[in-house]
Structure 1
Amino acid sequence: MERTFVMIKPDGVQRGIVGAVISRLEAKGLKMVAAQFTVLSEEKVMEHYAEHVEKPFFPSLKAYVMSGPVLTMVWEGKDAIAIVRRLVGATNPAEAAPGTIRGDMGMETGKNVIHASDAPESAAREIGIHFTKDELVAYTRIDEAVLYE
């Protein structure tokens, strides 16, 4: 099974839509295997967004993502990365399709509710930044198990 990293950003937490976001991922059939409610340190932000550090928008991104609590998570499932990216929608909520998380809940590019890994390499890197191996929990969802024999 493939794993992906997802973060509900400060605007999603502050607007009280964490449960709605999680519900969409669970309803799709993905399995949460790790979660942490936290305020990101500058060190983690610098590491997580390393590819953006030299870009002009980085100072405002850094200030925003450190402005309040976030929920970092690891989700697992068949084709989890592609599935989560489709559920999340385009970076700019104005361009995100209705029915996607950003299309339905996002307000603007700078405050677009959620981050999701875009490739297996970034998923592995981001999971490693935010979670140790021991924090990933293995279990079987009831819909994965054989209920009756």
Structure 2
Amino acid sequence: MFEEVQFPGDKYNDVWVPKPSFTQLELYTQLYKLGFGENRFDGPFPEVSVSRSSLDIGFISLHGQNKIAYEIDGPDHVEEYDKRRDSFLLMQRGWKVFRVDCHDIDSIGFEAIARMIYCHALYQFGLIKTKHWFPGVITSYSVVH
């Protein structure tokens, strides 16, 4: 599940980066297609490294004030751990973390979920005023959305 990656100039520390799942890669691909040429924010970025965490998919506003991550919750999802982690990422690192259950991705489809995430990110950055996603599909432990 984990792949060892050695960064240049990092002679003493091994850095462990999770290998993205098929679901993460496919969702990232659909998001990339939607946002290709987008100049209102940066992203999507796969496997964003923040502190000791790795976020599945990230977006950053152009000036870096707003940072949004989307986590894909699979069967190994541990709610109590994720609540503490999401709170730390928001309070200490400024990352708003939102979650999408892999069962919703399976039932609704990659393209539709990617469109919802894309619209949700635009809404979070204040670039659109209306919500274009299904209630309950994009959730959060620490952020009101």
Higher share of residues assigned strand: 2
Higher share of residues assigned helix: 1
TM-score, shorter chain, exceeding 0.5: no
Shorter-chain TM-score tier: under 0.3
- Whose relative contact order is higher, 1 or 2, with alpha carbons under 8 Å and at least 6 apart? 1
Q: TM-score, normalised by structure 2?
A: 0.27
